[in-house]
Structure 1
Amino acid sequence: MSVFLISSAPLDVQNYRTVIDETSKEKINKIILSEVIPLAGKSHGSIVSSVSSSFLGTPYQAGTLTGNLNTPEALVVNFNGVDCFVLADYVEALSRSHDQKTFLYNLVKIRYVNNKVDYLSRRHFFSDWFASTPRIARDVTPEISPNYIVTEKHLNRTSKGGEYIPGLGVIPRKINYIPQQFINEQVVNNLKIGDYVGIYSPLEGLDVSHVGIIVRHDNKTWFRNASSLAINKKVVDSPFMSYVHSKPGIIVLRAD
């Protein structure tokens, strides 16, 4: 059963609802104690890798966040089921935290522009992590490969001229991405553990179609992601090169 709390946003006097269940509360504390605190002093990417390992096997579940134009937004914490974007939110927030209170603080900062818990302030696009404030990560795509391409997007605009997120408006944005044909061993070597990788979308109104995290084990590079594929339906590690082989390209963000 969910617990409903009235909270204040960390950086202003805004009030909002926090929705969190007891299982998620327990997992927050467990992950911080076992995966974050012991790695104090290590690289942020190492902490991201360790924290994200705690979600392996978590069921894939879309639509866990609460809020739309007609429903007030709530700060949702639900570790029982995640999609790819929510997984990234949780992992990054946990990686910066030392207890439940700081986790909630960081989750607001990561999930919402200017720390405002509101549907239209939610970071709906992967590139919002570097293009809106406060900035969550750097776009390091140009550092990963000299063969990156810059493209002009009109995010949130559908092919029929409508909006994917009604009321958000159309967002002009330059997007850097590495086309699939240039994703080679050099690119893999330039990726760092804990990098967030978005699968580039050729649709004008979208930046990516999926998001995952770079991890390394068993002498291989893996794409840790909340997979909606019927054979998975959970958080898994997919071989990176095999995964991106048939994809249009990648965008790489680094939180450090």
Structure 2
Amino acid sequence: MKEALAGLVKYRALLGPLALVGIVIVAALWSPFEPHRPPVAVAPGDEMTVTAASAWAEEDWTVFESKVRWAFEQRLDTLPLGAAMAEIGRSLVGSAYVPGTLEVEGPERLVINFQGLDCVTFVENVWALSSFVRTIGGAFGADATQTLANRPLTEDRYESLLRSVRYRAGTIDGYSSRLHYFSDWIGENDRRGLLRDISRELGGTRDTEPVDFMTAHTDSYRQLADPSFVVLVRQTEQRLSEAGRYYVPEDRIEEVAGRIRNGDIIAATSTVPGLDIAHTGLALWVDDTLHLLHAPLVGEAVQISEVSLADRIKRISGQDGIMVGRPLAAPELER
């Protein structure tokens, strides 16, 4: 089992940073439901250089273009950000689950991939797509043809949005600038006004368990062969450990479900030592029941949970609660 876990860890570099969580959980704490991705980082890179290196495959542009046209037809640009995210997320149901798409060779760069999503890249791309549609919709009056006419400009705008939510301060500065630990992802984007961490508002409990999964498993991360990255990641881990975080325990999710909205970002907390989050997705109400819209390892495609969010968390031994982030229409992204 130990060797199997080691292999899985190497396969699934942290959810971006944390996508790994799902894999570890499936292997170590198997359940008919799923797991998550562990934390990640890269080599320093000039933002302009990184942007230029972020080439789009034609297949990715085709998916992006079709989603933007559909979103404008549905007038999703007129909805609150969370509501738009729920609809765009639903439109991706059936999309393939593919792990490790951010772990490319060479210096850290922005990866655009709509052909395969994991639990974190699903959330990030849905957020960026929804923000793009609402921003551009206001600028061009929901005219998809005009919006997409200038492909280089459109690609650049989307890359800027995706980069803003995936990297610390929205800037790529090496592997460690990527928000590998999802509680850090929530905290950083809360500080920048892109979302609001409502875990404490929901009556959450403070979690003071240390976060050190990446530096405790350096052999599982190619980039951590560089000692300088280990130092930077450890600094992040120490900060997260000292600050702690709030989460809603699994036995209280049903109690607070009515205060969770469509499109809220859900992060399932992990019982794996050193790991903060095991899985991520979006809140989705179906027939008066709160479900999880997500890209799970088990199932191999974006899907809506068959059972309620509360029941799903209870059925997975490697998960014990949730953090909740509410997407915000940040002023700097609406210009």
Once residues 217 and 300 of structure 2 are traced to their aligned partners in structure 1, the CA distance between those partners, rounded to angstroms, is 32
Once residues 161 and 233 of structure 1 are traced to their aligned partners in structure 2, the CA distance between those partners, rounded to angstroms, is 26
Bigger relative contact order, structure 1 or 2 (CA pairs below 8 A, ≥6 apart) = 2
Once residues 126 and 136 of structure 1 are traced to their aligned partners in structure 2, the CA distance between those partners, rounded to angstroms, is 14
- Give the aligned residue type for 2:245: I
Matching residue of 2:194: 136
- Give the aligned residue type for 2:178: R
Report SS of the residue matched to 2:78: coil
Report SS of the residue matched to 2:92: coil
1:82-127 deviations in Å (ceiling 9; x for gaps): 1101111101111111344321110111111122223211111212
Matching residue of 1:32: 68
Q: Please say which structure displays the higher CA radius of gyration.
A: 2
Q: Does 1:103 align with 2:155?
A: no
Report SS of the residue matched to 1:128: helix
Following superposition, the deviation at residue 163 of structure 1 comes to 8.4
Among candidates 195, 198, 211, match of residue 155 of structure 1: 211
Following superposition, the deviation at residue 13 of structure 1 comes to 5.5
Matching residue of 2:284: 215
- Give the aligned residue type for 2:195: A
Matching residue of 1:80: 115
Once residues 127 and 84 of structure 1 are traced to their aligned partners in structure 2, the CA distance between those partners, rounded to angstroms, is 14
Report SS of the residue matched to 1:223: strand
Q: 1:159 to 1:114 in 2, by over 3 A?
A: closer
Matching residue of 2:89: 52
Q: Does 1:15 align with 2:49?
A: yes
Question: Is the CA contact 2:47–2:171 (under 8 Å) kept in the aligned structure 1?
Answer: no
Following superposition, the deviation at residue 39 of structure 1 comes to 1.9
Q: Does 1:176 align with 2:246?
A: yes
Once residues 214 and 156 of structure 2 are traced to their aligned partners in structure 1, the CA distance between those partners, rounded to angstroms, is 38
Report SS of the residue matched to 1:76: coil
Question: Is the CA contact 1:156–1:163 (under 8 Å) kept in the aligned structure 2?
Answer: no
Q: Structure 1: any 5+ residue segments left out of the alignment? A: 1-11
Once residues 115 and 214 of structure 2 are traced to their aligned partners in structure 1, the CA distance between those partners, rounded to angstroms, is 31
Matching residue of 2:296: 227
1:109-166 deviations in Å (ceiling 9; x for gaps): 111112222321111121223322645322101222x2x2102243334695868763
Once residues 113 and 36 of structure 1 are traced to their aligned partners in structure 2, the CA distance between those partners, rounded to angstroms, is 30
Once residues 77 and 170 of structure 2 are traced to their aligned partners in structure 1, the CA distance between those partners, rounded to angstroms, is 26
- Give the aligned residue type for 1:233: E
1:8-57 deviations in Å (ceiling 9; x for gaps): xxxx8641120321111122122122225712232111110011112110
Instruction: After TM superposition, list the pairs within 5 Å mapping 1:174-213 onto structure 2.
Output: 174-184=244-254, 186-213=255-282
TM-score by length of 2: 0.65
Matching residue of 2:79: 42
Report SS of the residue matched to 2:54: strand
Matching residue of 1:116: 171
TM-score by length of 1: 0.83
| Structure (1/2) with the larger helix percentage | 2
Count of aligned pairs: 238
Q: 1:101 to 1:13 in 2, by over 3 A?
A: closer
Question: Is the CA contact 1:61–1:83 (under 8 Å) kept in the aligned structure 2?
Answer: yes
Percent of aligned positions with the same letter in both sequences? 24
Higher mean displacement: 167-176 or 219-228 = 167-176
